[in-house]
Structure 1
Amino acid sequence: MYPLPLSLLLLILSFSFRVSSLQLSKCNKTEVTLIRDTELLTSLTLSNCSLSHLENAFFVRFDHLLHLELQHSGLSALDVFSLNGLTRLQYLSLSHNNLSTLRSWSSEPLGALTNLDLSHNRLSKLSARSFEPYPQLQQLDLRNNQINEIEEDSFYGLPHLKHLHLNGNQLQHLDGSFFRGLHRLSSLSVQHNLIDSIEMESFESNTHLRSLRLDQNLLSSLQFLSQRGLARLVHLNLSNNRVQKLEPLQFSKNFELQDLDLSFNNLTKLNKEALSGLDSLERLNISHNFVDTVDNESLNSLVTLLQIDVSFNRLITIPKSLFENNTQLEEIILANNQIGKLSPQTFHKQNHLRYLKLSGNALGEADFLQGLSPSLNSISLYVDLSTNRLKSVNLSSLLHFRYLNLANNNWNCAWLVANLVRKLPASVNFARPWTVINDWSKNITNIEGVDCSEGERNRSIILLDVSTLPHQKTGNCECGQTYDQSNPSPPPLTWPKIPTDRFDSRSVIIWMLVAIAIAFAGLRWLRRFVDRNEKSKLGNKLNNVYISKVQWQPVRNDLERS
């Protein structure tokens, strides 16, 4: 017996703690059988458990379950009645296991089941009436299996099925009986298979089909599109196939189609009536083909078209009236072709244009932008003319666009410098990103620059906004920088630092003179103070003279004595 995890023991031993939803991970069969109060559970999720085989009536105690997931558990076999008792189950997922055989797994139909997920298993064949025990099924997920065979009536008994996923399998052919009886089927995904042919009657009874994915297959013919079962189709993805040609009126019965993806095929031409009948089409993608010719009237019927992508083809020119009837266009992508010139009338009727991408072409002039509709709100227009051959443009009429990308063109240096010195708005971009290495610090620096030509010489201009340079404060003096004779100029993108001291020589001399003056003044004041003290002492001595009481008598000389 396997040791029980603490969380499961608490759940089993606790009578007061009752839940309606339970998730277990890294469990085993014994732990699942010991779950208590199963009559209260409505949702059970088992993931990464050790449950390779389920016996009959394994979930019979979980008769109140509405949601059951058993994923990533190595499940390879279920006995005939393993799901007995799950009469209320609405969602069942057995995905990411090793199932190779599909059975009913119940003695009575699971009448409440609406969603069944069997994806990422090893199923290789769908037998007749495989899903009959699930009459209320609305979504069936069989993607990423190994299915290469579907017997007739495999989906019999599923009148309510709306979403069917068969992508990521090994189907090579779609037979007319595969989806028979699925009258409410709304979306069908069969991409990433090996399908090279589709019978005409394959979707005859699927009159409610709205989304069909056939991308990443081997289709070369689209004849099946003319059947009436696809009349209400809205989304159709045919990308990454081998379609070489669109036959006239091929889409004439798909009058509700809004999204059509034909990218990554082998188309070489867009004929006059190739897209006729698509009166509701809003998004068309024919990028990454080999289209070199577009008929002047090939888009005439697409009056509701909002987006068109013809990038990565081989177009050299565009008919000036190609978009004449497409007045609702908001996005036109013609990037990465070989277009050398456009007429001023090319986009003159596009009043709702928001995005125009012409990068990666060979345009030498941008005069066609002068012919834009006067009713167009140019403030919301994004124009990409990068990577062309423009030498100069009339910027005065282009400054009010929401964004104008002019990077990586063959600009005339004189014209470029004259316009760069002007204060251009941030919506106009000439620069392309560069990555350089600073010669002094060896650090990688991201900058912006512009290429231009002057005669036969090519130049590069680095764009540097001085106001945005960070000012770094450092206390280290850089006075000892040496002069490198082999590289006398300062390194790129580095401003020379001028060493400055707090006191220069002039200040030192001034302060020395001030100090000497102060010293002389101090000595002079000290001398006056000493002289004053000496005079004061002498005056005091004269005032204190002593006179004796002895009377003074004059002295006589010898003559007087005789």
Structure 2
Amino acid sequence: MLSTLRLFLVLLLLLQPLLICGANRTQLLQLSNCNATQLNELKDVATLNELRLSNCSLYNLKNALFVQYGHLLIMELQHCKLNSLEDYALNGLARLQSLSLAHNNLSNVRSWSDQPLAALSSLDLSFNALQQLVSRSFEQYPQLQQLNLSHNLIEHLQPDCFHNLVHLKHLQLHNNRLQLIEASFFLGLHRLSSLALQHNQITQVEPAAFESNTHLRTLRLEHNQLTDLQFLLERSLGRLVHLSLSSNGLQELRPEGFVEYFELQHLDLSHNRLKELTNHTLLGLESLELLNVSHNIVTHIDAESLQPLSNLQQVDFSHNLLHTLPDKLFHSNSQLKDINLDNNQLGELHASLLKQLIHLDSLNVARNRLKDANWLQQLAPALNRLNLSVDLSSNRLQSLNLSSLLFFRHVNLADNYWNCSWLARNMMRTPPASLNFARNWPMLSAWSDMTVFNVRGVDCFDGQQNRSIVLLDVGVVRQQTTPISTCDCEQTTDELGPLTPPLSWPRIRTDRFDSRSVIIWMLVAIAIAFAGLRWAQRFMDRKAGGKKLREMKNMSIQKVEVETQRLRNDRERS
């Protein structure tokens, strides 16, 4: 017992520093609507671990203001109207790991400390008024890994502005006013993993701009004004995984322009002015999984343009000017799951276009000029159709073989040029829930003043005349719109215009097992079981009766034998 107690005391002494440290980590101070005077009057701040100030009126941070905050790890001063920090305002924060000065009015960046903040790994200066970064702006933050400078007014980066940031991994410069990316901007950032430059005014990137950034994995350049991708010919970006060039002014792609990008998985070229994809455009992209070329003016795609993309899973060619597609376009992309051809000018699809795709989950060919969908019957035999969604809406289909679409997960057929007689014949049966013909229409109701209902309807064409079929349950709508009357007045009925019966598709009898058949068979089974029980009971009763008769017969025989023996004994005595 004493040895156990001693062991417990020893463990308690060993764990005491850890317990104290854990207690300190839980100390958090959050203030809002404060001012500099209240901040100076705070007491017992030496053990604070987190300080979060929001919507305060600080304007300027004085020198050595945080000297007493020796254990501070996280500090956020957001929406505090900060205009400036004095040269040594951050002195004493040797343990600080994360600093956020976002949503203020800072116009320049300095070290704000005469000693390195060796523990600082995250700095957020977003949503300020920074216009440029001077040389060695972050020299006192040698361990910085994340730097957010987004949503400022930065037009230029001076050489060596990121000096000494050898551990920086994530740099955010999006939503600024940069126009030129010079070769000297990111020199020395050897560990940079992601760089965000979207939403600037960049017209040119110098060829050697990313020469030092051999570990860059994500590069975002969307929403700029690039017209040339000469910088991509440099081999320094060979490890890119995500590349976004959306919303620029690109008109063409250089042949073999991506030949060094064998690790690239996501490529976004949407919202440009591209006109075609040739057989040499995407060479080298063996690892590409997502290709987005939507919202361009592509009119032609070569038959073998996607052949190098053996791992392609998603492709988006929507919102282009495609009239036809090569019949072997996807024959080398057996891993494809999602194809988007929405909003083009496709008049037909070749029967063998999708024949090799056994993993297809989603196919969108809406808003084209398709007149038939016979190619859907030529899908790969190994394809699981129960997982496939097809959008054929807003085309020029007049009729379909609906039996070939019954086993799809979902098929959207709304807004086509349906033949009225064909549509009426097929609407006599209740279609499966996976088929959608109708679209929502706003309709004014005559039962209440200017009430608009969303009803479902289908357009059809009888020759050149457009007709509309409205699917409306009138009884339900009237029940929902008629207020409950509380008066004692006599109710009247309109015999000339009785309530229109609900519109519904009649159900056609089938030979399937319905509920009545189930009930009948259950009753038959119960009757058979009851008869079996009665027969078993009678059998047991008969068996028990026979046994009792044998016992009585034996008893009678025994009595006769006893009586005979008694008479014999009496005779011998006489």
Q: TM-score range by the shorter chain?
A: 0.7 to 0.9
Any conservation in 2 of the 1:246–1:271 contact (CA below 8 Å)?
no
**Equivalence map 1:409-488=2 (5 Å):** 409-442=416-449, 443-464=451-472, 478-479=491-492, 481=494
Q: What is the match of residue 543 of structure 1?
A: none
Give yes or no for the alignment of 1:146 onto 2:153: yes
> Which residue identity does 2:218 align to in structure 1?
S
Return the offset for 1:494.
9.7
**Equivalence map 1:164-313=2 (5 Å):** 164-313=171-320
Equivalent of 1:72, from 59, 79, 94? 79
CA distance in 2, matches of 1:469, 1:331: 39
Q: What is the match of residue 4 of structure 2?
A: none
**3-state SS of 1:220 partner:** coil
**3-state SS of 1:38 partner:** coil
Any conservation in 2 of the 1:382–1:403 contact (CA below 8 Å)?
yes
Any conservation in 1 of the 2:473–2:503 contact (CA below 8 Å)?
no
Q: 1:326-348 deviations in whole A, cap 9, x for unaligned?
A: 11100000010000001110100
Return the offset for 1:204.
1.1
Give yes or no for the alignment of 1:92 onto 2:99: yes
Q: What is the match of residue 411 of structure 2?
A: 404
CA distance in 2, matches of 1:491, 1:176: 77
CA distance in 2, matches of 1:349, 1:223: 36
Q: Which has the larger radius of gyration?
A: 1
Q: 1:26-83 deviations in whole A, cap 9, x for unaligned?
A: 1011111111111110100111111001111011111111111111111111111111
CA distance in 2, matches of 1:19, 1:418: 71
Any conservation in 2 of the 1:259–1:283 contact (CA below 8 Å)?
yes
**3-state SS of 1:416 partner:** helix
> Which residue identity does 2:294 align to in structure 1?
S
Return the offset for 1:18.
12
Q: What is the match of residue 348 of structure 1?
A: 355
Return the offset for 1:471.
5.4
CA distance in 2, matches of 1:489, 1:271: 67
CA distance in 1, matches of 2:258, 2:126: 33
CA distance in 2, matches of 1:491, 1:470: 10
CA distance in 1, matches of 2:380, 2:235: 40
CA distance in 2, matches of 1:310, 1:477: 65
Any conservation in 1 of the 2:474–2:500 contact (CA below 8 Å)?
no
Q: What is the match of residue 535 of structure 1?
A: none
Return the offset for 1:467.
9.3
CA distance in 1, matches of 2:499, 2:276: 57
The alignment yields a C-alpha RMSD, in angstroms, of 2.1
Number of positions where the alignment pairs a residue of Structure 1 with one of Structure 2 = 475
Return the offset for 1:90.
0.5
CA distance in 2, matches of 1:41, 1:207: 40
Any conservation in 2 of the 1:440–1:491 contact (CA below 8 Å)?
no
Any conservation in 1 of the 2:472–2:503 contact (CA below 8 Å)?
no
Equivalent of 2:38, from 20, 31, 37? 31
> Which residue identity does 1:429 align to in structure 2?
N
TM-score by length of 1: 0.82
Equivalent of 1:324, from 322, 328, 331? 331
**3-state SS of 2:421 partner:** helix
Return the offset for 1:429.
0.6
Q: What is the match of residue 133 of structure 2?
A: 126
Q: 1:468-499 deviations in whole A, cap 9, x for unaligned?
A: 7785796775426597xxxx89899899xxxx
Percent identity of equivalent pairs: 52
CA distance in 2, matches of 1:465, 1:230: 61
CA distance in 1, matches of 2:503, 2:382: 48
Question: Structure 2 regions of 5+ residues with no counterpart?
Answer: 1-23, 505-574
Any conservation in 1 of the 2:193–2:215 contact (CA below 8 Å)?
yes
CA distance in 2, matches of 1:81, 1:22: 23
Do the aligned partners of residues 152 and 446 (structure 1) sit closer, same or farther apart at CA in structure 2, a change above 3 Å counting?
same
**Equivalence map 1:502-521=2 (5 Å):** none
Q: What is the match of residue 137 of structure 1?
A: 144
**3-state SS of 2:56 partner:** coil
CA distance in 1, matches of 2:473, 2:374: 30
> Which residue identity does 1:128 align to in structure 2?
S
CA distance in 1, matches of 2:358, 2:498: 54
Any conservation in 1 of the 2:475–2:502 contact (CA below 8 Å)?
no
Any conservation in 2 of the 1:438–1:493 contact (CA below 8 Å)?
no
Do the aligned partners of residues 427 and 18 (structure 1) sit closer, same or farther apart at CA in structure 2, a change above 3 Å counting?
closer
CA distance in 1, matches of 2:42, 2:135: 37
**3-state SS of 1:40 partner:** coil
**3-state SS of 2:284 partner:** coil
Return the offset for 1:440.
2.9
CA distance in 2, matches of 1:489, 1:221: 72
CA distance in 2, matches of 1:280, 1:74: 48
CA distance in 2, matches of 1:413, 1:420: 10
Q: What is the match of residue 162 of structure 1?
A: 169
Do the aligned partners of residues 109 and 492 (structure 1) sit closer, same or farther apart at CA in structure 2, a change above 3 Å counting?
farther
CA distance in 2, matches of 1:130, 1:489: 83
CA distance in 1, matches of 2:435, 2:473: 15
**3-state SS of 2:46 partner:** helix
CA distance in 1, matches of 2:151, 2:501: 55
Do the aligned partners of residues 493 and 447 (structure 1) sit closer, same or farther apart at CA in structure 2, a change above 3 Å counting?
farther
CA distance in 2, matches of 1:108, 1:18: 24
Any conservation in 1 of the 2:263–2:287 contact (CA below 8 Å)?
yes
CA distance in 2, matches of 1:184, 1:101: 25
Question: Structure 1 regions of 5+ residues with no counterpart?
Answer: 1-16, 496-562
Do the aligned partners of residues 151 and 492 (structure 1) sit closer, same or farther apart at CA in structure 2, a change above 3 Å counting?
farther
Do the aligned partners of residues 439 and 124 (structure 1) sit closer, same or farther apart at CA in structure 2, a change above 3 Å counting?
same
Runs of 4+ that moved beyond 6 A = 466-470, 488-495
Return the offset for 1:391.
0.2
CA distance in 1, matches of 2:235, 2:50: 43
Any conservation in 2 of the 1:438–1:491 contact (CA below 8 Å)?
no
Give yes or no for the alignment of 1:387 onto 2:400: no
TM-score by length of 2: 0.80
Any conservation in 2 of the 1:19–1:40 contact (CA below 8 Å)?
no
Do the aligned partners of residues 186 and 19 (structure 1) sit closer, same or farther apart at CA in structure 2, a change above 3 Å counting?
closer
Return the offset for 1:196.
0.5
Q: What is the match of residue 370 of structure 1?
A: 377
**3-state SS of 2:456 partner:** strand
**3-state SS of 1:461 partner:** strand
CA distance in 1, matches of 2:74, 2:439: 54
Return the offset for 1:388.
0.2
> Which residue identity does 1:458 align to in structure 2?
N
**3-state SS of 1:39 partner:** coil
Any conservation in 1 of the 2:474–2:501 contact (CA below 8 Å)?
no
Return the offset for 1:142.
0.3
CA distance in 2, matches of 1:399, 1:326: 26
